[in-house]
Chain A
Amino acid sequence: MTTSEIHELLRARFGDDVAAPAGGPRGDQFLLVKGARLIEIARFLKETPGLQFDFCEDLTAVDWPKRNVIEVVIHLLSYPLRHSLVLKVEADRAAPVVPSLEPVWKTADWFEREVYDLFGVTFTGHPDLRRIMLPDDWVGFPLRKDYEEAGGWHGITNVRADPLVELKRLDDAARAEVARSAPPPPPPAPAAPPPPEKA
């Protein structure tokens, strides 16, 4: 089934909570849905015969500071019917909250933890929402567009020392060593005998 056919089905059931298919001139079309009804819509997509989206292929997010939203993007695929669908949910950037899809597809568990870790989106109803890639006491959400590195973590700096400084120090030390252990310079050659005087 194509995205617009699925949209017709969803609109009949959920009304305006599902926006019309949108997307660029090429690539995939997506359906923007209201966060409040996400779980219902997800269950409908999974359980309705003819849709049967049994596989949550991917769940990730995209940060849009200009529009002040974080989009959570959900890719679904149906193994028996071989069709796919892209759902999007928008959340406010200041305090992004989206209902968790973990009760519908178990695979959303780790995907949501990753989005929480890297974008700071809170998934309500998630059983174990904590950071997955980064340490638990990390500050900030790196995949947001305005993220700035804190400049180190627990004394581990992220600025590398200039290797040339150390190399130059070693070079100088080696040169000094050579100069010290070298034999003393030979005594100056005796002055040339004065040219014989003309008789």
Chain B
Amino acid sequence: MEKLILRRVDQNNEEMILNFGPQHPSTHGVINFIVQTDGEVITRAVPDVGYLHRSLEKIGESTGWHGYMPYTDRIDYVAAMFPNEGYATAVERLTGIEVPRRAQYLRAISGELCRIASHLISVGTMAMDIGAFTPMLHGVRERETINDLIEALCGARLTYNYHRIGGVAFDLPEGWRDRTLAFLDHFDRFLVEFDRLITFNEIYIRRLANVAVIPGPMAVDYGLVGPNLRGSGVDWDVRRDLPYGAYSDFEFSIPVGQGMFGTVGDSFDRYFCRVREMGESSKIVRQALEKLPDGEIMAPKVQRNLKVEAGEALSRVESARGEMAFYVVADGTNKAYRIRARTGSFTAMGIIEPLSRGLMVADLVALIASLDVVAPEIDR
């Protein structure tokens, strides 16, 4: 840790070095920031990550291809459908297993519900970090219904383990479609209510507009993905631009930061992209439920003791925190030679240090919240 402390505090200077975290509620998990401040103004904030490193990539080299699926849940437990899907897609690319159409639709439905749930946590905790507690409760209330729906679908509320290499584990239970549609009707009204509750609240806007502006080229250079990238005005979404699964069948728009109350790429834009994305996800779920084809949910004849020919593949899926890429290397045996998860939170952390210069301490909280980092996804 000694090395991290950048400059010895000088007697004539008011500068001090603070530990912000690792057990601080607004760091969204176990992350430490070593903050050098002069009063309220930050000179530099250095993120120190790794507290939740569980060596998930190393574990993947010993579990066997099917056995790794539950571990992928733990990569991002706030939106566990996406690492599931990313890993399954990577192995399918490498083995040439064709996923049945119905399974692709179920992946899209479960994924988009999961995205809504994840964004609800994100926007709710963001408001909470800024100082508005109530929106968090509203968000968690809606998320509870989604948890119930996903529990009915796959038996788990947090770490779903729903996907399989070659399909999904369970078909829709009876009555699930109507329950989901009823929830979405309610949810679309909820979004309007949520906007009135917090999004267009004058104080909230002033706390976020023009704070921690990330220009588009900088966002690309630092490898931001997902809503963080789109908040900076870069119009890119893996679901639309490099479609995978069933996404080419759906009509949806990609919200991009407009600089509505300030500069393009400020904290408000990132927040607002997430709020709008929830509405788009709701549209996708409706379309998918309407068009849902009949048929199998698993590819035929996926070996239990799967052996994969030597080769390597990268799969990209659009997770709630942006592009999630799984890089999988096989050497012809029944175990992976190397599994690598590239996650959105990891690269988002890298931009905090250059952005933190000159921010107020309270704005650092807004910045971290607006990047929607999830500690286990950083550390894996």
Is B311 touching A107 in the complex (CB atoms < 8 A)? no
Answer whether residue A106 sits at the interface, using C-beta atoms and an 8 A cutoff: yes
29 contacts between A and B (CB under 8 A): A23-B311, A24-B94, A24-B310, A24-B311, A24-B330, A25-B309, A26-B93, A26-B94, A26-B95, A27-B94, A27-B312, A28-B314, A30-B312, A57-B314, A57-B323, A57-B342, A58-B314, A73-B327, A79-B234, A82-B242, A84-B314, A106-B223, A107-B221, A118-B57, A130-B3, A133-B50, A134-B53, A136-B3, A142-B58
Is A109 touching B311 in the complex (CB atoms < 8 A)? no
Q: Whole-angstrom distance between the alpha carbons of A57 and B338 in the complex?
A: 17
Q: Whole-angstrom distance between the alpha carbons of A93 and B221 in the complex?
A: 30
Residues of chain B lying within 8 A (CB to CB) of residue A136:
1, 3
Partner-contacting stretch, out of B151-159, B346-354, B366-374: B346-354
Residues of chain B lying within 8 A (CB to CB) of residue A135:
50
Can you name the residue of chain B whose Cβ is closest to the Cβ of A55? Answer: B220
Residues of chain A lying within 8 A (CB to CB) of residue B310:
24
- In chain B, positions 44-63 with a C-beta closer than 8 Å to chain A are 49-50, 53, 55, 57-58
Assuming the A-B contacts A54-B220, A105-B221, A106-B221, are A133 and B242 also in contact, with contact meaning beta carbons closer than 8 angstroms in the complex? no
Assuming the A-B contacts A24-B309, A79-B234, A142-B58, are A56 and B50 also in contact, with contact meaning beta carbons closer than 8 angstroms in the complex? no
Can you name the residue of chain B whose Cβ is closest to the Cβ of A145? Answer: B61
Answer whether residue B329 sits at the interface, using C-beta atoms and an 8 A cutoff: yes
- In chain B, positions 316-333 with a C-beta closer than 8 Å to chain A are 323, 325, 327, 329-330
Residues of chain A lying within 8 A (CB to CB) of residue B314:
27-28, 57-58, 75, 84, 86
Main secondary structure of the interface of A (DSSP, over half): loop
- In chain A, positions 77-105 with a C-beta closer than 8 Å to chain B are 79, 82, 84, 86, 105
Can you name the residue of chain B whose Cβ is closest to the Cβ of A63? Answer: B338
Assuming the A-B contacts A24-B330, A82-B242, are A106 and B58 also in contact, with contact meaning beta carbons closer than 8 angstroms in the complex? no
CB-based A-B contact count at 8 angstroms = 97
- In chain B, positions 295-313 with a C-beta closer than 8 Å to chain A are 309-313
- Residue of B96, B327, B337, B350 touching A110 (CB-CB under 8 A): B350
Is A23 touching B58 in the complex (CB atoms < 8 A)? no
Is A82 touching B241 in the complex (CB atoms < 8 A)? yes
Known pairs A136-B3, A143-B58 / 11 extra A-B pairs, C-beta < 8 Å:
A23-B312, A26-B95, A27-B311, A28-B314, A62-B338, A73-B327, A75-B325, A82-B241, A82-B242, A86-B312, A130-B3
Answer whether residue A6 sits at the interface, using C-beta atoms and an 8 A cutoff: no
B55 → A minimal CB distance (Å): 6
Q: Whole-angstrom distance between the alpha carbons of A130 and B313 in the complex?
A: 29
Count, chain B residues at interface, CB 8 A: 40
Assuming the A-B contacts A60-B340, A136-B1, are A105 and B327 also in contact, with contact meaning beta carbons closer than 8 angstroms in the complex? no
Main secondary structure of the interface of B (DSSP, over half): mixed
Is A26 touching B220 in the complex (CB atoms < 8 A)? no
Q: Whole-angstrom distance between the alpha carbons of A132 and B47 in the complex?
A: 10
- Residue of B95, B220, B342, B346 touching A79 (CB-CB under 8 A): B220
Is A27 touching B49 in the complex (CB atoms < 8 A)? no
Is A58 touching B93 in the complex (CB atoms < 8 A)? no
Q: Whole-angstrom distance between the alpha carbons of A25 and B310 in the complex?
A: 8
Is A132 touching B49 in the complex (CB atoms < 8 A)? yes
Give B57-89 as 1s and 0s: 1 = Cβ < 8 Å from A's Cβ atoms: 110000000000000000000000000000000
Residues of chain A lying within 8 A (CB to CB) of residue B379:
133
Is A62 touching B337 in the complex (CB atoms < 8 A)? yes
Q: Whole-angstrom distance between the alpha carbons of A36 and B256 in the complex?
A: 40
Assuming the A-B contacts A24-B310, A75-B325, A82-B241, are A56 and B223 also in contact, with contact meaning beta carbons closer than 8 angstroms in the complex? yes
Assuming the A-B contacts A28-B312, A28-B314, A106-B221, are A60 and B327 also in contact, with contact meaning beta carbons closer than 8 angstroms in the complex? yes
Can you name the residue of chain B whose Cβ is closest to the Cβ of A135? Answer: B50
Answer whether residue B20 sits at the interface, using C-beta atoms and an 8 A cutoff: no
